[in-house]
Structure 1
Amino acid sequence: MKGIYVAGVSCEPERLVKEPILCNCALNYKEKDIYDFSEWKNVGLNEKFDTIVDLAGGGWLRLLEQSKTVAGRKLQVVKPSREGGRYLTLTPDTAHFELNSIWGALKLFLFVPLFRAMSSRFSKRANLPAFTYATLDNDAKIMNETLKLASEKKLKAVIDNRGPFEFTTDGVQKAFKVKDSRHVHGKVVISIPKSK
């Protein structure tokens, strides 16, 4: 993508700067504080990010904590909302959560994200990026376009090299352990035997 600087975060950052991903730079989150702007300056970044896409969750809490002090705001890696900064996430703050009621689901997926979206755009726009809890659109047209790109080999499915796992109790449990480790490198695949 021309004109876009893409940075990545992984426990294997060298993987992100090679084909097929090709990030401009990457940091190892196990060794570096990815929410400290000075770490990004060390790899050549000169200005704060316009957008953060958080696929792991929890980053908003760190930005919220940093926004409370002047020193913390200097460390932030993303611009505030008033300067066009955006924070997009697909997941709640924690990877594992329990929902025992409709109220719990509404709180987790509607009320908290809605409050964050509103406060980051109005009352806290000088200190925080605009929060967006993004969800995928189930529009058939978009799905068909995606399948077309995949069939034309313009999209590549990345499959974790520890699989595919057998469709047995043991195999499925192993697959879930890989997924729960939160260190998956692609999709975890379970092979279902072909019917005879």
Structure 2
Amino acid sequence: MKAIQVHEFVEDFEILQGNDSLMSMNNNVDKPVPKKGEILVQVQACSLSPGDIIMVHGNLIFLHEARPFVPGMDISGVVVDNNGSKLFQEGDGVVASNGVSPVGGMAEYMVVNENEVVLKPSKVSVQEGAASSSAITARNAVMDNVKEGDRVLILGGSGGVGSAAIQIAKTHAKASFVATTSTQTNLCKTLGADQVVNYREENWWEMDWQGGQKFDVIIDTVGGGNFYGRAPFVLKTGKQGGKFVAVTGDDTRPDCRTVWKGIKFIASMPWRPLYTSLRARTYPKYILIMPYDILQGRKQVLEWMQEGSLKVPIDEESPLPFTADGVRAAFTKVASGHAHGKVVVTMSTSN
């Protein structure tokens, strides 16, 4: 089968385009064989997320794969071998992920655990199905932390998580006011944002939001820039119910290329949530979103997409073709941090 292979970890994604020594197409990769509890899916579309960038960058030693490896984990496709599964039949259109290991998706076929698979609703395209993974993160960030009537600020409203978070906060959590930072004003307002701040022209932490009213929740989908340190200017304290929900941490590409660095990074993660809980009179509560409830989240997100209450914007340059140049362009776009919606590679035009 055809598959994209990563030969070396990519330090600089700007030099990835045209570089076969780092990432290339192999037309003769063995088709994967499902083991017990797994099914074989013919991939029709694969979307990329920051997790895929971290995997290809090689920053996390715990996710190092033997090279060459096939990148990508979030797919939509058709079951071609159900391997005796009682949940799925051959020919079923499905949406799936490879769990926490972002490998295998940029290929014509991918083996997935049947517990990571959901039937694709009829009104959801294969591109939208593959792109739905970021909406699961948005669903967890919003539905667990935003209550009806809350004022919410979403940092990064045009990205995969941010665009879904706007809609979920307004439609499903019933927030009273949703603001976001983005250069894509029309897109964010179409999704339901009440106010959009162009971060290139204004600093959200310096603004007088509706006469000084502070937010109940800030959801950070951007990371970096010490945004939590600036949040108290516009966000309620923890004692007042204020929450800073971090989808991405201060370091968007942590250096965990050795076991020791990885242990230090993991050990540091509980520090800020604990500290802000103890200092709730002064600081907002800090909440770091970790992957959980993925299967149920995928089902709910796809149900919302089927009924039309959630749309997953696709980046204007997507879907990209399943070629070496197309996939390298997809990785470069996501790594730049300037994708407007989800970046998707299409292997098949059928739905």
After TM superposition, the score normalised by the length of structure 2 is 0.46
Deviation at 1:161, TM superposition (A): 1.0
- Structure having the higher Rg: 2
Report the counterpart of residue 148 of structure 1 in structure 2.
303
Q: Deviations over 1:91-135 (max 9, x none)?
A: 121322332134433433x4333100000010x323321101012
Aligned with residue 188 of structure 2, among 16, 21, 26: 16
Deviation at 1:45, TM superposition (A): 4.9
Please state which structure has a larger fraction of its residues in helix: 1
SS in 2 for 1:141: helix
Q: Give yes or no for the alignment of 1:114 onto 2:286.
A: no
Q: Deviations over 1:8-65 (max 9, x none)?
A: 1102234322x2x1111121111111222xx243xx3531111100000125x2443x
Please state which structure has a larger fraction of its residues in strand: 2
Quote the Cα distance in structure 1 between the aligned partners of 2:301 and 2:339: 22
Quote the Cα distance in structure 1 between the aligned partners of 2:260 and 2:287: 21
Deviation at 1:193, TM superposition (A): 4.2
Quote the Cα distance in structure 2 between the aligned partners of 1:3 and 1:175: 33
Quote the Cα distance in structure 2 between the aligned partners of 1:51 and 1:106: 30
Does the CA contact (< 8 Å) of 1:113 and 1:132 recur in 2?
no
Q: Give yes or no for the alignment of 1:54 onto 2:220.
A: yes
Report the counterpart of residue 235 of structure 2 in structure 1.
78
Quote the Cα distance in structure 1 between the aligned partners of 2:195 and 2:303: 30
Does the CA contact (< 8 Å) of 1:63 and 1:128 recur in 2?
no
Q: Deviations over 1:135-158 (max 9, x none)?
A: 232343332222222233332221
Code of the aligned partner of 1:181: S
Deviation at 1:171, TM superposition (A): 1.1
5+ residue gaps in structure 2? 1-169
SS in 1 for 2:197: strand
Does the CA contact (< 8 Å) of 2:228 and 2:244 recur in 1?
no
After TM superposition, the score normalised by the length of structure 1 is 0.79
CA spacing shift, 1:40–1:11, aligned 2, 3 Å: farther
5+ residue gaps in structure 1? 68-72
Quote the Cα distance in structure 2 between the aligned partners of 1:103 and 1:149: 42
Aligned with residue 99 of structure 1, among 250, 256, 260: 256
Quote the Cα distance in structure 2 between the aligned partners of 1:3 and 1:114: 28
Deviation at 1:79, TM superposition (A): 1.3
Report the counterpart of residue 150 of structure 2 in structure 1.
none
SS in 2 for 1:127: coil
Show the 5 A alignment for 1:123-142: 124-142=279-297
Counting aligned pairs with the same residue, the percent is 26
Quote the Cα distance in structure 2 between the aligned partners of 1:170 and 1:142: 33
SS in 1 for 2:303: helix
Report the counterpart of residue 70 of structure 1 in structure 2.
none
